[in-house]
Amino acid sequence: MQQTQAHAPTASSPTALPTGKLGLWWFLSSEIITFGGLIGSYTVLRLAHPEWAEAAQHLSVVIATVNTVVLLTSSLTMVLAFRAVDRQEDPAVRTWLGGTVTLGLVFLLIKALEWSGKLSAGMVPGVSGFWSFYYAMTGLHALHVLAGVVVNAVLLLVALRGRLRPVAQRVEMAGLYWHFVDLVWIFLFPLLYLS
């Protein structure tokens, strides 16, 4: 049985997934291991140190809830940006990518204000294991949010110049990354703020 030209594997993509998307999934897998290790270590140590509950009471559930809503809303704007790309609605792509970038920056601003309040009150990483984990996990997450903001801002600039169509698949890949960042926060929020 002979392969047809349409189903023959190519040198650049011997799988059903485009090479860029496959690379992104590999990257996200490594990030799952990184965050999974941190979350697992925190959980084990948290169970061994009930006194960490007192330190956790200094965190604001209200602020974290607002930040959760901001980040989840940014996931929606990312989905809408991808849908607009698929429908070739260029103004909508720009609007939704701009919304995603703005909401990502709002998340980072709220997190920075939260950190500055805690740091000025003397709740620094060396004070206890809880604060060390808190800053490590939320700091690593914030770096990932910042990376996502940069990627989406670059895509927005490309869209504003009218050059997004040849690289439109990058919006989907940026969306996969952005949803991963949101998913990590869904784990961090209850572990740190609600436990």
The whole-angstrom separation of Cα 71 and Cα 100 is 9
- Which CATH superfamily does the domain covering 59-193 fall into? Cytochrome c oxidase, subunit III, four-helix bundle (1.20.120.80)
Please give the chain's pLDDT, 195 residues, in tens. Answer: 444 444 444 445 555 667 778 888 888 899 999 999 999 999 999 999 999 999 999 999 999 999 999 999 999 999 999 999 999 999 999 999 999 999 999 999 999 999 999 999 999 998 899 999 999 999 999 999 999 999 999 999 999 998 888 888 899 999 999 999 999 999 999 999 997
Q: In the chain, what are the domain boundaries? A: 59-193
Query: What helix, strand, coil percent values describe the chain, rounded to 5?
Result: 80, 0, 20
